A and B are shown apart, each in its own frame.
Chain A
Amino acid sequence: MRECLSIHIGQAGIQIGDACWELYCLEHGIQPNGVVLDSQPDQLENAKMEHTNASFDTFFCETRAGKHVPRALFVDLEPTVIDGIRMGQHRSLFHPEQLLSGKEDAANNYARGRYSVGSKVIDLVLERTRKLAEQCGGLQGFLIFRSFGGGTGSGFTSLLMERLTGEYSRKTKLEFSVYPAPRISTAVVEPYNCVLTTHSTTEHTDCTFIVDNEAIYDICQRKLGVERPSYASINRLMVQAVSSITASLRFEGPLNVDLIEFQTNLVPYPRIHFPMTAFAPIVSADKAYREQFSVSDITTACFESSNQLVKCDPRLGKYMACCLLYRGDVVPKEVNAAIAATKSRHSVQFVDWCPTGFKVGINNRPPTVMPGGDLAKVHRAVCMLSNTTAIVEAWARLDHKFDLMYAKRAFLHWYLREGMEEAEFLEAREDLAALERDYEEVGQSF
């Protein structure tokens, strides 16, 4: 029961997915071929394993052969990235039908991802999704991993989300999206793709957790001592946050948080559903025992900009809701004390109309680290999801870049060629402007 289906779209989504399932397998003791590590020397460990077996049913499907297959779908419009999975370390973990690739890619073009190229693949993707959904006893919802700036990540995702709403209207859909970094850009037409996809996906998503590469890049450099972070380092850090968010669904814990609970507690209005993610502690493996992190230390750290996975300054805005997901050696007494201390700090300002503000989840499994990774193993960690009005800064930046390009109609013909019209651009831009105004309105006092 309570199964979750993960769909990984585009290069970003797929590479994050690769790291993500690697981490899940480590956490559940599943080997790269799908078989659970059975031989534990003493009974205590075995008892524990039984416990965990029952819970990871949400993310893994057990076949009759005893293999655990992830409930996931990897989709891309061109084959190179997916071939990486097909030949990679985890090739025997996934069923070949879960790895879908097209022949010609979206070329960083929303229009191709959504209309011309995407429309050829969508039916197959939906069919596979249906198959996976049928294997579930009580599907809770979907987790979509994608980037805003790429062609497939923006275009194909918006097409898919529309169709998913049609077919599975009552199921939750959560997104983990890679927002284009403010200063590090991987595509010139990113602003177009982002604005277009945000406009078309907003009404179909329940909650979108955004991360941006630049923030994680800085964290890797400053806190983890990695001179030149590669995408692998960045993804490994990001999936720690993803793992914390889904930990309640995969392990039993004293205070579990469901997928629907996220929505209920984090989203005050349907359109205001872009929480900011922060993770603490982020310690380099060289400094494993040098710094001690109590519950209050890590809770305070979450409110510092150096632990955020998105570049935005929450001090410039107000918090509407805050979800703290603790994992590891955490005791409710200490959590209450930490939250009380946070509430009394002036730098953490809540909106007038949300007096309580905090939702807490506790899970006793400590975070697992990937071997050869940069993070140290810690006893306890927290992932904070906060809905803050300061995130409007991210949208404003994006809109500004969009305006600069659109004023000159630069690069527009690539989209118009694939069947789009300028009206769609204008509509999308209007929608984002309305989103900015919505944020400003909720942030205002009575």
Chain B
Amino acid sequence: MSDTLTPDVIGRRVEVNGEHATVRFAGVVPPVAGPWLGVEWDNPERGKHDGSHEGTVYFKCRHPTGGSFIRPNKVNFGTDFLTAIKNRYVLEDGPEEDRKEQIVTLGNKPVETVGFDSLMKQQSQLSKLQEVSLRNCAVSCAGEKGGVAEACPNIRRVDLSKNLLSSWDEVIHIADQLRHLEVLNLSENKLKFPSGSALTGTFSALKVLVLNQTGITWAEVLWCAAWCPGLEELYLESNNIVISERPTDVLQTVKLLDLSSNQLIDENQLYLIAHLPRLEQLILSDVGISSIHFPDAGIGCKTSMFPSLQYLVVNDNQISQWSFFNELDKLPSLRALSCLRNPLTKEDKEANMTRQLIIASIGQLKTLNKCEILPKERRTAELDYRKAFGNEWKQAGGHQDPDKNRLSEEFLRAHRRYQFLCLKYGAPEDWELKTQQPFMLKNQLLTLKIKYPDQLDQKVLEKQLPAFVMVKIRRILILASGGMVNKLW
């Protein structure tokens, strides 16, 4: 890279030995001569200081060891999009065979052409490309105007994750030239937002946008979404997002939203995205959620929130209350749920019971943890649920005779489906509800202590025997000792 540092170098993304950073300062740092670049590393522990040197503050970093000064020639400013594609996808020319000379007539003059064959081969290779993966290829800009559109206009899917793009302006320059772009992955880039509004039509064909680990905020997400009228899938993993406002005109076509590993999300923020009309799949893994409420749904009613939600993923969260699943029953379209590795579902011994309770709590569920719920399984689960809470039902006012049935509101709210289960399988009978001690021998044993009255230094023997044996012993002793049985107990 040239040593001349222009002011626009500030804010650019660079790479040094595999580590990515943002340029924050360019200039001289006395007393050492020569130009320096001050960079803030992505990795907060990679640097030596926080932007200040010997008392003078040259630039600011978020972490005390987040910054370093580096010589400009040690830094990789990246390459342009088209060059990166060529580096990766074009096979090197064969040695000399492509260097055939051909004589062509241009106008009146004969002209020698050398190497045209290989050029044409290259060009046809590039124009056929539909899917391009340029992860970690140090792409920092679009390159010369129109270059991409001419060489590889048919690209539909681009992976530009972990590159050196520093702002959305560059992304727009690239996307403008790819009219068929459907899938764009910009994960692990730190992009500045442009000051002006984007050109309309840039992302008109875009269906899938991946922005994992970009540090994007919710406001910025909505801004991006405004440029993508047909967006169907949006991935925002690990961004520390806080949902701050309700999307009104944007994100209305989104079918899949991935918000995993955004630890600052809580259940109240979910209300703000509850009215996206087409949202079918919501991924909330590892967000730290422990409860969810749909207050607008009364007893026996469904909620108006998340009207199209079919598949909910809540793995790796803090769910510890059964009421969570009771609430999920309020979702009108829910068909599939994944809730692995939560405190409530962690016990291996009771995995089966957990599964059954979830199935019974959510009536319309067809798939749980990626396993289809067969009708037989549902039937068993519901019957067990009905029996398990039978006593509570009775205490809450339940009665086999429908006229005398006066269930408390509390019970109805906590067990939304109980009435329905009673209608389906009949109200639980009294004999079903008796809690029986399992007939185990150990519950029937009594302890017998034997003392030797004549030998007081002998230890008292203790034996556990079944009751009927005890009775027999007692009878024999009564007969034998003529009434001195008291000493034996």
Question: Interface segment, B7-15, B299-307, B367-375?
Answer: B367-375
* B262 interface residue per 8 A CB criterion: no
**Cα distance, A233 to B131, chains bound together (Å):** 28
Main secondary structure of the interface of A (DSSP, over half): loop
The 8 A CB mask of B377-398 against A (1 = contact, 0 = none) is 0000000000000000000000
- What residues on B are CB-neighbors of A225 within 8 Å? 315, 338, 340, 369-370
- A320 to nearest B CB, angstroms? 32
Taking a contact as CB atoms under 8 Å apart, the answer to whether B369 and A227 are in contact is yes
Contact A289 B355 (CB under 8 A): no
Chain B: minimal CB distance from A331 (Å): 6
Contact with A along B115-136 (1 / 0, CB 8 A): 0000000000000101111011
Residues of the B chain whose Cβ atoms lie less than 8 Å from the Cβ of A374:
370
How many positions in chain B have a CB within 8 Å of any CB in the partner chain?
35
- Taking a contact as CB atoms under 8 Å apart, the answer to whether B370 and A289 are in contact is no
CA distance A227 to B336 in the complex (A): 13
Q: Are A224 and B212 in contact (CB under 8 A)?
A: no
| Bound Cα distance from A288 to B234, whole angstroms | 12
Rounded to whole Å, the gap between the CB of B294 and the closest CB of chain A is 23
Q: In angstroms, how far is the closest chain A Cβ from the Cβ of B352? A: 10
Q: Report which of A288, A331, A366 forms a contact with B89, defined as CB distance below 8 A.
A: A331
Nearest chain A CB to B146 CB, angstrom units = 20
- Contacting pair B370 A226 (CB below 8 A): yes
Cα(A119)–Cα(B52), bound, Å: 87
C-alpha gap A250/B154 in the complex (Å): 25
Residue of A nearest to B369 (CB): A227
Residue of A nearest to B89 (CB): A331
B187 touches A (CB below 8 Å): yes
Contacts of A379 in B (CB 8 A): 131, 133, 159
> Is there an interface contact between B370 and A331, defined as CB atoms closer than 8 Å?
no
CB of A227 within 8 A of CB of B371, answer yes
Q: A289 contacts which of B128, B133, B185, B369 (Cβ < 8 Å)?
A: B185
Query: Is B235 part of the contact surface with A, judged by Cβ < 8 Å?
Result: yes
Q: Which of A227, A286, A292, A332 touches B283 (beta carbons < 8 Å)?
A: A286
Distance of A131 from chain B, by nearest CB (Å): 39
> Does chain A have a CB within 8 A of B260?
yes
Tell me if B178 counts as interface (CB < 8 A to partner A). no
A258 within 8 A of B: no
Contacts of B260 in A (CB 8 A): 290
Enumerate chain B residues within 8 angstroms of A226, measured Cβ to Cβ: 369-371
Complex: how many Å from CA A290 to CA B211? 10
Tell me the residues in window 43-69 of chain A with beta carbons closer than 8 Å to chain B beta carbons. Answer: 44
A292 touches B340 (CB 8 A): no
Q: Which residues of A contact B210 (CB under 8 A)?
A: 289
Inter-chain contacts of A233 with B (CB < 8 A): 370
The residues of A that contact B162 with a CB separation of less than 8 Å are: 292
Q: Restricting to B226-249, which residues have a CB under 8 Å from any CB of A?
A: 235, 237
- Judge whether A445 is part of the interface by a CB distance below 8 angstroms: no
Complex contact B187–A227 (CB within 8 A): no
CB pair A227 B370 closer than 8 Å: yes
Does chain A have a CB within 8 A of B346? no
CA distance A224 to B340 in the complex (A): 11
Verify A228–B371 contact, CB threshold 8 A: yes
Which residues 324-339 of A sit at the B interface, judged by CB distance below 8 A?
329, 331-332
Q: Are B185 and A44 in contact (CB under 8 A)?
A: no
Q: Is B161 an interface residue (CB 8 A)?
A: yes
CB distance from B353 to the nearest CB of A (A): 13
Q: A225-B315, A225-B338, A289-B185 are in contact. Are A329 and B285 (CB under 8 A)?
A: no
Q: Does A294 contact B (CB under 8 A)?
A: yes
Q: Which residues of A contact B365 (CB under 8 A)?
A: none
Q: Are the C-beta atoms of A227 and B368 separated by less than 8 Å? A: yes
* Cβ-based interface call for A230 (8 A): yes
Determine whether B289 belongs to the interface, using a CB cutoff of 8 Å to chain A: no
Q: For chain B residues 350-365, which have a beta carbon within 8 Å of chain A?
A: 351, 355
CA distance A229 to B235 in the complex (A): 27
Chain B: minimal CB distance from A154 (Å): 30
List chain A residues, Cβ under 8 A from B187: 289, 292
Quick check: A44 and B154 within 8 Å, CB to CB? yes
Residues of B within 8 A of A329 (CB): 131-133
Q: How far is the CB of B100 from chain A (nearest CB, A)?
A: 23
Closest to A254 in B: B91
Q: Using known A-B contacts A226-B369, A329-B133, determine if residue A44 contacts B212 with beta carbons closer than 8 Å.
A: no
Per-residue CB proximity of A217-232 to B under 8 Å, as 1/0?
0000000111111100
Residues of B within 8 A of A366 (CB): 131
In the assembled complex, which residues on chain A have CB atoms less than 8 Å from the CB atom of B355? Answer: 227
Interface string of A228-258 (1 = CB under 8 A from B): 1110010000000000000000000000000
Within the complex, what minimum Cβ distance (angstroms) separates A155 from chain B? 33
Question: Can you list, as one digit per residue, whether each of A373-390 has a CB less than 8 Å from chain B (1) or not (0)?
Answer: 010000110000000000
In the assembled complex, the Cα of A314 lies from the Cα of B378 at a distance in Å of 42
Report the bound CA distance from A230 to B374 in whole Å.
Answer: 12
Mark contacts of B177-214 with chain A using CB atoms, 8 A cut-off: 1 yes-contact digit, 0 otherwise.
00000000101000000000000000000000010100
Q: Which residues of A contact B91 (CB under 8 A)?
A: 332
When distances are taken between beta carbons in the complex, the residues of chain A under 8 Å from B351 are 227
Query: With a CB–CB cut-off of 8 A, which chain A residues contact B132?
Result: 329
Q: Is the CB of A286 within 8 A of B131?
A: no
**Does chain A have a CB within 8 A of B88?**
yes
Name the A residues within 8 Å of B338 (CB-CB): 225, 286
Chain A residues with Cβ under 8 A from B258's Cβ? 289-290
Residues of A within 8 Å of B369, CB to CB, are: 225-228
**Other-chain residue from B89, B159, B285, B368 in contact with A286 (beta carbon distance below 8 A):** B285
The CB with the most chain B CB atoms within 10 A, among A226, A292, A332, is that of A292
B313 within 8 A of A: yes
Min Cβ gap A363→B in Å is 14
Q: B88 to A331, Cβ gap below 8 A?
A: yes
In the complex, which residues 395-431 of chain A have their Cβ closer than 8 Å to any Cβ of chain B? none
Which chain B residue shows the least CB distance to A220? B370
Pick the residue among A227, A229, A289, A331 that contacts B212 (CB under 8 A).
A289
B340-A227 in contact (CB<8A): yes
Q: Which of B131, B161, B285 contacts A292 (CB 8 A)?
A: B161
Closest Cβ of chain A: how far from B224's Cβ, in Å? Answer: 16
For A288, the closest partner residue in chain B by CB is B235
How many Å lie between the Cα of A289 and that of B208 in the bound state? 11
A224 engages B370 (CB within 8 Å) = yes
Chain B 308-364 interface residues, beta-carbon cutoff 8 Å to A: 313, 315, 338, 340, 351, 355
Known: A227-B340, A290-B237, A329-B131. 7 other contacts (CB 8 A): A226-B369, A229-B371, A230-B371, A288-B235, A289-B210, A292-B135, A366-B131
Nearest first, the 9 A-B pairs at minimum CB distance are A227-B369, A226-B370, A289-B210, A329-B133, A228-B371, A289-B235, A227-B371, A286-B313, A290-B237
21 examples of A-B residue contacts, CB within 8 angstroms:
A225-B315, A225-B338, A225-B369, A227-B355, A228-B369, A230-B372, A286-B283, A288-B235, A289-B185, A289-B187, A289-B235, A292-B135, A292-B187, A294-B135, A294-B136, A329-B131, A331-B89, A366-B131, A374-B370, A379-B131, A379-B159
* Chain B interface (Cβ < 8 Å from any Cβ of A): 88-89, 91, 128, 130-133, 135-136, 154, 159, 161-162, 185, 187, 210, 212, 235, 237, 258, 260, 283, 285, 313, 315, 338, 340, 351, 355, 368-372
